[in-house]
Amino acid sequence: MEPANREENERHEDRDPQGRARQGHLELGRWAGLRPEELSDLGVVALSPGIPPRPGGQTGEAVLVGLKDCAWERSDDALIVMLDRRAMTHLVDRDGSVELLLTTLRDQPRSPEDLRQVLVAAGVQVDAEQLAAVLDVLDQAGLVEDATGLGLDDPQLDARHFSNLAFFGQFSDLKCSRASFLRRMRRAHVVQLGVGGGGSAIVQCLAGMGVGRLTLVDRDDVEPRNFSRQFLYRHADLGRSKVDRAAEWVREYDPTIEVRAVDRWIGRADDLDGLFDGADVVTGSFDEPPGAQAWVNQAVVGAGIPLVSGALFGTQLVYSSVDPGRSACQACAAARLSDGQSPGAEGLAVRLDERLPRTNRLTGPVAAIVGALIAQEAARYITGFQPPYAAGAVVFLDVRNGFESHRMPITRDPDCEICRQAADVRSRRPSAVRR
């Protein structure tokens, strides 16, 4: 698997066989007087899942250390600290100095030097290097964050994005603030293919998350049959161009989002020319004509742009994403999955399925679920708050069984010409959406 997915797998290993989170455990006790290398020997034994370890890097000079919302109780020589029900961390604290540090930060965020002076004044002998090592361990446990980026320094915007900022606060740390995630979202350009069932939900979810720019592509008019699931449209819109009305909806919803409507039928690969210029992520897909999605895959993977799409097949919802040059692309997947030529029952199932009429059975709840999952995956690529979940995989959700899901990894086809182009692009220029 690619690095992103490997990290995901490592997170899953932090669970016991029943899927419950193991408790994290940190040894921080008696750190006063220890050297940084001794502190790191004490280090992290196991972090709770849900807070993936971050890539290394230096915490900025101007950082203001903030303690995230958490609660703790003392148990003998340890503090048991909870971020949420799945994230408990044990801190060894025999002399009370760790609790003093947490309490000081809970009162107000402080620069490392300011924090050190408070601790020293209270009788805890700690130098700057030791404190930096302790903060690094707390950072890896997800307990602290850069408090200079709790918001966008604009009361109206902060109110508008209150829950977005709080959500990113679950993934922020001393090197990446919640505001920096949101800024990436607000700078991002997403091209949405299709504004029908799933597309309507994707547009609404991305607008809610504050995406900066949307290009909407479709060639369809609003029809009565759309109203079971396409909540961008009103009765008065019947007969109007979907993308025009969808763009209007976005502008009315949040005038700060730049939106472009492309009312275009994609009849051949050339029709995609110029469509993806400046895009950070492409979401959605074209149902028709046959082959259109293969053109999309080739165009975006060749340009190094991540692609997230999904669909309903009978009673199975599926979605997947392509991280160009890192994960399998849709052509790799097509080469790996069964087709009508496959032997035995699998080939038979594909052949019979191809003879069934293509009836759109997407209801509001089903379209909203797949649209939301696609938007969330797009946000992973845009902000990097988590590695992409569905890269190089197909995620299935069972409509008959409470949307129970499973993730099927797809290995890359070593002979895939499209992936080879992506690798060339990736080596020439870094993706705009990488952290």
Alpha-carbon 67 to chain mean position:
23
Q: How far apart are CA 247 and CA 78, in angstroms?
A: 55
Q: How far is the CB of 138 from Zn ion (least distance, A)?
A: 41
Q: How far is the CB of 391 from Zn ion (least distance, A)?
A: 12
Q: How far is the CB of 326 from Zn ion (least distance, A)?
A: 11
Q: How far is the CB of 331 from Zn ion (least distance, A)?
A: 5
* Cβ burial 217-228 (10 Å sphere, 16+ → b, else e): bbbebbeeebee
- Cα distance from N-terminal residue to C-terminal residue, the chain: 20
Q: Where are the beta strands (DSSP E) in 302-400?
A: 307-313, 316-322, 393-398
Q: How far is the CB of 324 from Zn ion (least distance, A)?
A: 9
154-173: which residues touch Zn ion (CB under 5 A)?
A: none
Q: Which H/E stretch holds residue 367?
A: helix 364-383
Q: How far is the CB of 413 from Zn ion (least distance, A)?
A: 6
Q: How far is the CB of 266 from Zn ion (least distance, A)?
A: 21
Long-range contacts of 156-164 (CB under 8 A, 24+ apart): 160/210, 160/254, 161/210, 164/208, 164/209, 164/210
Residue 207 vs 416, nearer CB to Zn ion: 416
Write the interaction track for Zn ion spanning residues 260-279; mark x where CB under 5 A is met and - where it is not: --------------------
Residue 230 vs 320, nearer CB to Zn ion: 320
Write the interaction track for Zn ion spanning residues 359-398; mark x where CB under 5 A is met and - where it is not: ----------------------------------------
Q: How far is the CB of 419 from Zn ion (least distance, A)?
A: 3
Residue 312 vs 419, nearer CB to Zn ion: 419
Neighbours of 258 (CB within 10 A): 13
8-47: which residues touch Zn ion (CB under 5 A)?
A: none
Residue 13 vs 415, nearer CB to Zn ion: 415
Contacts of 177 (CB under 8 A, 6+ apart): 145, 146, 147, 148, 149, 150
Contacts of 75 (CB under 8 A, 6+ apart): none
Residue 193 vs 419, nearer CB to Zn ion: 419
398-427: which residues touch Zn ion (CB under 5 A)?
A: 416, 418-419
Are 67 and 172 contacting, i.e. CB atoms less than 8 angstroms apart?
no
The pairing of beta strand 78-84 with beta strand 404-409: unpaired
Contacts of 229 (CB under 8 A, 6+ apart): 197, 200, 362, 363, 364, 366, 367, 368
Work out which of 4, 63, 216, 329 binds Zn ion, going by CB under 5 A: 329
The helix/strand/coil state of 259 is strand
Q: How far is the CB of 408 from Zn ion (least distance, A)?
A: 16
Q: How far is the CB of 351 from Zn ion (least distance, A)?
A: 25
Residue 70 vs 419, nearer CB to Zn ion: 419
Q: Rounded to 5 degrees, what are φ and ψ at 251?
A: -65, -40
Residue 22 vs 336, nearer CB to Zn ion: 336
Residue 102 vs 418, nearer CB to Zn ion: 418
What is the radius of gyration, based on Cα positions, of the chain? 25
# chain residues binding Zn ion, by CB under 5 A: 6
Write the interaction track for Zn ion spanning residues 280-299; mark x where CB under 5 A is met and - where it is not: --------------------
Our CA angle for 45, 46, 51, nearest 5°, is 135
Work out which of 331, 366, 368, 390 binds Zn ion, going by CB under 5 A: 331
Work out which of 292, 332, 370, 390 binds Zn ion, going by CB under 5 A: 332
Q: How far is the CB of 334 from Zn ion (least distance, A)?
A: 9
Are 152 and 158 contacting, i.e. CB atoms less than 8 angstroms apart?
yes
Candidate segments 103-111, 274-282, 330-338, 358-366, binder of Zn ion by CB under 5 A: 330-338
Residue 34 vs 307, nearer CB to Zn ion: 307
Residue 246 vs 331, nearer CB to Zn ion: 331
Are 431 and 382 contacting, i.e. CB atoms less than 8 angstroms apart?
no
Residue 175 vs 326, nearer CB to Zn ion: 326
Q: Which residues form the interface with Zn ion (CB under 5 A)?
A: 329, 331-332, 416, 418-419
